[in-house]
Amino acid sequence: MVAIRGFKIKRLSCYDYSRWPNSHGRWGGIMSLSPKERDDVSEILLKIKAISANIETPFVFVSGIHSPVYVDCRRIISFPQERKRIIELLEKIVREDIGLENIDVVAGGATAGIPYAAFLSQKIEKPMIYVRKEPKKHGKKRQTEGVLKKGDRVLLVEDLITDGGSKTNFFNGIKNDGGVPKYCMVVFSYGRPVIVEKMKEWGVELFWLTDWNNTLELAKRKGYFSEDEYSEVSKFLKDPIAWDKKWVAGEKK
């Protein structure tokens, strides 16, 4: 098995949707995207295999946790029509929920968020920067690249959010270089309660196009996941650590 990008699971490890603010794609209120638009995003991710299940040979996250499912939104950039639709919906959120007048700069989180920030900033005609997870060790030793003026209100764009850890690093970088992180927008959210807590700490409003709450049922309904895959992914999302322990012990079901 090959270790792939993932997340570190701490004590709060379950995807408990009963504690998630809402299923409308916004922490703090109802977002303008319709149920059909959220379904469109979920189906795009499933169709281009940005979301894939494998219950026979699970994926391995960097943390060592085994998972029957993997989300790789980076694939979107290789599909022009699907990419266009995703960017259209990100733009809709900016115009109808955030307001162009409320942001000064669009930031892409290195590296996965950079393409989305580039496409989106061009559409809405806003300056763009990108932000690293940590400052450079040489040169100006900045964490951001591009022009970021003191007090600039920043929209951070990323491909997905799992536990919010990397977003905290990006927010710190933006703040340290003079900007003010105000909004965060992602294509896909894992829907973990810890995400909400991190956003609250920063006072950042989070928007997402779709999440597991929306995607899992659609994957089953449209035949992207078999009954067995649906069952195992559901168990994993309910308690990743328990699922991993059973897999390691040879008790897949």
DSSP-derived letter for residue 26 is B
Strand 69-71 with 51-53, pairing = antiparallel
Task: Give pLDDT, residue 174.
Answer: 98
Distance between CA 151 and CA 14 in Å, rounded? Answer: 37
**17-21, 31-35, 43-47: which range is least confident on average?**
17-21
Q: What's the CATH fold of domain 15-50+76-218?
A: Rossmann fold (3.40.50)
Average pLDDT over residues 38-50: 98
Handedness of CA 174, 178, 179, 180 (dihedral sign): positive
pLDDT digits (tens, 9 = 90+) for 116-169: 999 999 999 999 999 999 998 888 889 999 999 999 999 999 999 987 778 999
Is the predicted pLDDT of residue 87 greater than 90, yes or no?
yes
Is the predicted pLDDT of residue 5 greater than 80, yes or no?
no
Distance between CA 116 and CA 176 in Å, rounded? Answer: 23
Is the predicted pLDDT of residue 22 greater than 80, yes or no?
no
Q: Model's pTM, two decimal places?
A: 0.86
pLDDT digits (tens, 9 = 90+) for 187-229: 999 887 788 788 888 999 999 999 999 999 999 999 999 999 9
User: Which DSSP helix (H) or strand (E) runs through 187?
Assistant: strand 180-189
User: Which is higher by pLDDT, 27 or 135?
Assistant: 135
The answer to whether residues 131 and 143 touch, using CB atoms and an 8 Å cutoff, is yes
**What is the Cα gyration radius of the chain?**
18
Is the predicted pLDDT of residue 56 greater than 50, yes or no?
yes
Strand order across the beta sheet in which 3-4 lies = 3-4, 59-61, 66-67
How far is Cα of residue 152 from the mean position of the Cα atoms in its chain?
23
Distance between CA 225 and CA 232 in Å, rounded? Answer: 10
The pLDDT confidence band at residue 253, using thresholds 50, 70 and 90, is low
Closest by CA position to 214, among listed 188, 194, 179 = 188
- Which residues pair with residue 161 across a beta bridge? 189
How does the average pLDDT of the chain come out, rounded? 88
With tokens 């600039």, the residue in question is 152
The phi and psi torsions of 182 (rounded to 5 degrees) equal: -115, -35
Do you know the residue count of the chain? 253
Distance between CA 39 and CA 99 in Å, rounded? Answer: 24
